[in-house]
Amino acid sequence: MRRVQNQRKTRETSIDIVLDLDNPEGGEISTGIAFFDHMLTSMAKHGRIGLSLVAQGDLEIDAHHTIEDTGIVLGQAIKEAIGDGKGIARFSHAIVPMDESLATVALDLGGRGYLVFRGSFSHQRVGGIEREIFEHFFYSLCIRGGITAHLSMEGKNDHHMCEALFKAFGIALGSATRIGPDCDNIPSIKGSF
């Protein structure tokens, strides 16, 4: 089934997610971190993926646990939603400009979690969030989701670079999870992921 509803509770966070790869109608995205909500909403919207996600975390400490655990939960949901991978495109890429910024994402949903992240932000915080947590979010998502991802970004405006990256990831993810005309086969010469 390509619709997944999960919950993760730890001492640091509580996250409820509904992910639907076939119905782009999403619900509430609320992590308590406004800029991160904006990034997740952009990712889902441009990927044409239904996403509802409500997280409560120890934001009195910082945003790290909430963003990291959101990556874990989202990765697990993607992996569960694609199941054995039968019929999916598997590979995809996207290039997204946003004014002076450019983000490039290439994905393989073949079950091997790996992240290559190129580019850096010029300020310590982006949207009020410590800059290094964005790479960690994508790392957590890819490792738990069995996704190999190559992400790169360049530009001058940190907000534009970050938003272009989330949009490109969403577009590539949406394309890679789409069911193609060869819907009875797993896209692997091994016959499985």
**Does residue 101 sit within a domain?**
yes
The predicted structure's pLDDT at residue 104: 98
The reported pTM is 0.94
Categorize the per-residue pLDDT at 189 as very low, low, confident or very high, splitting at 50, 70 and 90.
low
**Does residue 192 sit within a domain?**
no
**Does residue 43 sit within a domain?**
yes
The predicted structure's pLDDT at residue 181: 78
**Does residue 128 sit within a domain?**
yes
Query: The domain that contains 153 carries what CATH number?
Result: 3.30.230.40
**Does residue 126 sit within a domain?**
yes
**Does residue 107 sit within a domain?**
yes
Q: Check pLDDT > 80 for residue 183.
A: no
Supply the range of the domain harboring residue 126: 3-177
**Does residue 189 sit within a domain?**
no
Average pLDDT over residues 167-183: 92
Report pLDDT digits (tens) over 135-155.
Answer: 999 999 999 999 999 999 999
**Does residue 185 sit within a domain?**
no
Domain count for the chain, please give it: 1
The predicted structure's pLDDT at residue 191: 65
Q: Which residues contact 80 (CB under 8 A, 6 or more apart)?
A: 4, 6
Report pLDDT digits (tens) over 63-91.
Answer: 999 999 999 999 999 999 999 998 999 99
Report pLDDT digits (tens) over 24-39.
Answer: 987 899 999 999 999 9
